[in-house]
Structure 1
């Protein structure tokens, strides 16, 4: 989730680290664009990515699909708007989990919050974590801020990326039902947290 790595800090550090970056304030979209994004997210969450078409959004809003392009230039602009919403949500969720965690349990708290968000919003999660992220269209600093909890939990940028990569991979496998039947996934995630414990 983070594209710019901070410098490693000398260890040992009291973890979790305090918040570092200020939460970016995304520009408030015009009312019609906000309405389109709400409808698009609802379709995505309820019906899946294949149902997310301009025609379907138009049906929900009671307007013709071509009229949507007066407000959003393309489907890529729609995807960027949804990614912006998702990154702001997941960032706030993860920062809160780290804020409330004890040093010995910060990795577990962070992993649990990340997993919980992904399982509650699987289609939105897949949309903003799979494939190309429209970074140029996102609010400046949003992606880094959303990923900062991993750095706060580890105190090292490379361990932070490793923790995010491992957690993301574990979550995707769970969403795609790729674990063997009967797997105790709570124990799997607990083992992951233990591997990254402070």
Structure 2
């Protein structure tokens, strides 16, 4: 059993509860996350959870909100490249990488909580810059950013649940270039990543 927290260490216990719940979610999905299982992983009695979370649903909601924030952070970090079209491709890779690394956590994030609107705003900003630079033919970057996010989410979700389908090794260039209406021959990304141009043009 875990030793009793000293005064003021409740924040640490709350964090440990979330770590344990996240591990259980990654291992066995939502059904694996029970208060008893979480308490066992942390080394505490089940009632010790209640001062921090009123029930199982609150624990799961905190886990998926943290996962959503992590996904947004990874996309934001990936989109620090100089060219706006590079930022779109980098966002796609970060999105797929997170979903592939944590498939159960990814699915639960969108089943139990609303998506983070920051992701769409980041995509819309980069897409607007692509239009200004002549890299994209989009006439409505805001709407196309939503379509791009839906495309990324759809592929990421299906890859997390359908394992026997012969998925392409790198779908990012196809998804991003198509839904962002990128001119792959003119874009900065195409000049520096010709393999993706060949893939896109067949």
Residue correspondence of structure 1 range 1-198 to structure 2 within 5 A: 30-100=11-81, 102-130=83-111, 132-133=112-113, 143-155=116-128, 156-177=141-162, 180=165, 182-186=166-170, 188-195=171-178, 196-198=180-182
Q: Say which structure is richer in helix.
A: 2
Judge conservation of contact 1:91–1:147 (CA < 8 Å) in 2.
no
Q: 1:119 to 1:173 in 2, by over 3 A?
A: same
Structure 1: gaps spanning 5 or more residues: 1-28, 136-142
Structure 2: gaps spanning 5 or more residues: 1-9, 129-140, 183-202
Instruction: Measure how far apart 1:133 and its partner are.
Output: 1.4
Higher-RCO chain (CA-CA 8 Å, sequence separation at least 6): 1
Instruction: Measure how far apart 1:110 and its partner are.
Output: 1.1
TM-score by length of 2: 0.70
Report what 1:3 is aligned to.
none
Larger mean CA deviation between 111-120 and 73-82 belongs to: 73-82
Deviation string 1:153-184 (CA, Å, 9 cap, x unpaired) is: 3233211111111100011111112673x342
- Alignment length (residue pairs): 160
CA distance in 1 between counterparts of 2:68 and 2:169 reads 25
Larger Cα-atom Rg: 2
Let me know the Cα RMSD of the aligned residues.
2.3
3-state secondary structure, aligned to 1:63? coil
Larger mean CA deviation between 102-111 and 161-170 belongs to: 102-111
